[in-house]
Amino acid sequence: MESLTLLSTHDIAKHNSFGDCWLVVEGDVWDVTGFAPQHPGGASLILKHAGRDATKAYAEYHASGLIEDTLPSSCLKGKLDRSTIDETWTRDRSSPTASSSHPIQTLPDGLKPPLHSIINSYDFEEIAARTAPKKAYTFYSTAATDCWTRDMNESMYKRIWFRPRILHDVSRLDTSTTILGNKVKVPTFICPTGLAKMIHPEAEKALARAAKATGIIEILSTSASHPVEDIVAEAPDHPFFFQLYVNRDRKKSEELLAKVNRLGLKAVFVTVDAAGRGKRESDERLVVDEPVINPVTGERILPDKKGGGLTRMRGSYLDESLSWKDLAWIRSLTTLPIVLKGITTAADARLAMQYGVDGILLSNHGGRNLDYSPPAILVLLEMHKLCPEIFERMEVYVDGGIRRGGDVIKALCLGATAVGIGRTFLYALNYGSEGAEHLVELLKDEMESVMKLIGITNLSECHPGLVNTLDVDHLVPATDWHPYAQWRPKPRL
């Protein structure tokens, strides 16, 4: 047998990435780059030992000769030269001083781990908290007063269980659907967000490229950091929606919608839950050391005697007189589908049907405006109980608290057409368009895993029987009125 090349620890350690991964197992050096994505336990387990000796971890789960039976002989690169072993090589990377379960915890502050090491949406947030500009992360992560609604948005999804069906052929999956007639590869859209430029200079333009690359839709915000025409130009022939904050100077909103029509956007999402602005205390406490420009008014946002709240100062242009009768005015300005963003009760959903809109987005603004407003997934359940006819009349979307592909499937099982994600795309934007693309791929992978395990092959097969909502059903109102609704305080004598 031909003798194998002796490889030093220094040479082996160079091959420590997803695209170039070597392992040492029982003294043999193997190139597992091509095998890692197919590893039954996941590529992350292999990458944990990339460029290192994996013998101990390997022996815990595998028979001694399994790697030789699994990989072709061409993957065997040589033998570990034991004379080159030093303290650095023998250090246990699972120890607190050498490694950690999270890719950022071993890095100096401000240094981002490689994108491929991020394996879920929570990683993006933790990395943004450590590496993004403080004012950006504070503005994105904050919510109104006690932040209860923000936290419950996510918590409620965790209280809904799956009811898996077995022995279905799930060898072929399809995660595509349509949103207002526009085909998408994943039932997810990028929610409109403001001041995205604080975390990445290309902001919504980078998100536009990611949306096209992954086959999803971006909703462009009235408060976008770049002009609408510049964002759309980043992804020619790709559909975009537009989010409208109605300006108290109605002429400016008319001009904005004329531009939206001219640019060929596909729908208008009218925000209807911003008559007031929430008190976002983390935002107020933030010391803004550099002025931020309001992208709508062009004003310089600087702290005042109430604090440094970007939210409060950015919202000065909003029209607080907006009412149901103004929908006719908006309809006169565009032939595009109109969706109301910010519905939180069945009563308002019925009114949306009466006024003939094309869809509703069940949303509490990420908990950023009215704290203790209901999580959107509970409002979706309220629709089934008090306004089931809406699912036959228009498309229904939800946002807020969606962190996993499984959350997407839960929402679709309960009647949502698609879901929106906001904050997490901003955190992913910390890595530019590639970060946003990676986030979509992670969610898609999680969706596909859930679909197989609950026994469905396409999104049309989602139905309420696949989820158990008993843990939250008691939180859903049984009627539109409250037993104390007729109560009035007695006049003082």
Catalytic residue numbers, as ranges? 245, 273, 365
Give dist(CA 132, CA 149) in Å, integer.
24
